[in-house]
């Protein structure tokens, strides 16, 4: 795809894979800043029509949904953790599972990300990363992101 208006090119590319460009914040902001248009009504498409090339892609599951499927031994409560804690969480769970640590604590709930307002109910709650520090949970692993070796050590020593 090519065009003289970079936003228009992005808007058409979005439409070609089933996304609405005005649902994508940076494209909307760029249009508001006058960089170009994402309004398909104002864009002239040459060559193949949108209908001819359109595919509908499915969005990938969030990291926490994917991890919940991979590690059903734990409940993940995700307050929109960034890629730092999401990466640490995956490595931690993978390592802990390989070391047979995930079954040690029943009903373990892991809280990660800044968007959780209060500590969830339950006996075995572990809050991960500096973003969850304000929750003042009994068990908190600091770090930005938290360290997977420390996560495994904590599981090993907590009963």
The nearest distance, CB 122 to ligand SF4, in angstroms, is: 21
Contact 132, 146 (CB under 8 A): no
Q: Taking the complex as a whole, how short is the minimal distance between the CB of residue 77 and ligand SF4, in angstroms?
A: 13
The tokens describing 156, both together, are 């090993």
Give 11 or 76: the residue with its C-beta nearer to ligand SF4: 76
CA–CA gap between residue 117 and residue 139 (Å, rounded): 16
Segment near ligand SF4 (CB under 6 A); pick from 45-53, 62-70, 78-86, 93-101: 78-86
Q: With H, G, I as helix, E, B as strand and everything else as coil, classify residue 1.
A: coil
Helix 83-98 crosses helix 63-70 at what angle (to 10 degrees)?
0
Region of 18-26, 49-57, 62-70, 124-132 interacting with ligand SF4 (CB under 6 A): 124-132
Site size with ligand SF4, rule: CB under 6 A: 11
36 binds ligand SF4 (CB under 6 A): no
Among 81, 111, 152, 155, binds ligand SF4 (CB under 6 A): 81
Stretch of residues binding ligand SF4 (CB under 6 A), selected from 27-35, 69-77, 95-103, 129-137: 129-137
CA distances from 116 to 61, 113, 124, 127, 128 (A): 20, 7, 16, 10, 12
When asked if residue 134 is in the footprint of ligand SF4 (CB under 6 A), the reply is no
| Kind of pairing between the strands at 125-128 and 108-112 | parallel
């Amino acid at each position: 795809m090519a065009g003289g208006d970079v936003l228009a090119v992005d808007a058409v590319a979005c439409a070609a894979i089933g996304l609405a460009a005005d649902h994508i914040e940076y494209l909307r902001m760029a249009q508001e800043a006058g960089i170009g248009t994402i309004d398909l009504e104002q864009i002239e498409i040459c060559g193949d029509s949108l209908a001819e090339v359109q595919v509908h892609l499915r969005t990938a599951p969030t990291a926490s949904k994917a991890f919940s499927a991979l590690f059903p031994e734990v409940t993940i409560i995700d307050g929109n953790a960034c890629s730092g804690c999401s990466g640490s969480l995956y490595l931690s769970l993978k390592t802990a599972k390989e070391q047979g640590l995930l079954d040690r604590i029943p009903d373990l709930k892991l809280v990660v990300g800044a968007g959780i307002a209060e500590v969830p109910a339950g006996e075995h709650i572990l809050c991960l990363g500096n973003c969850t520090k304000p929750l003042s949970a009994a068990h908190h692993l600091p770090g930005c992101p938290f360290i997977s070796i420390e996560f495994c050590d904590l599981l090993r020593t907590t009963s």
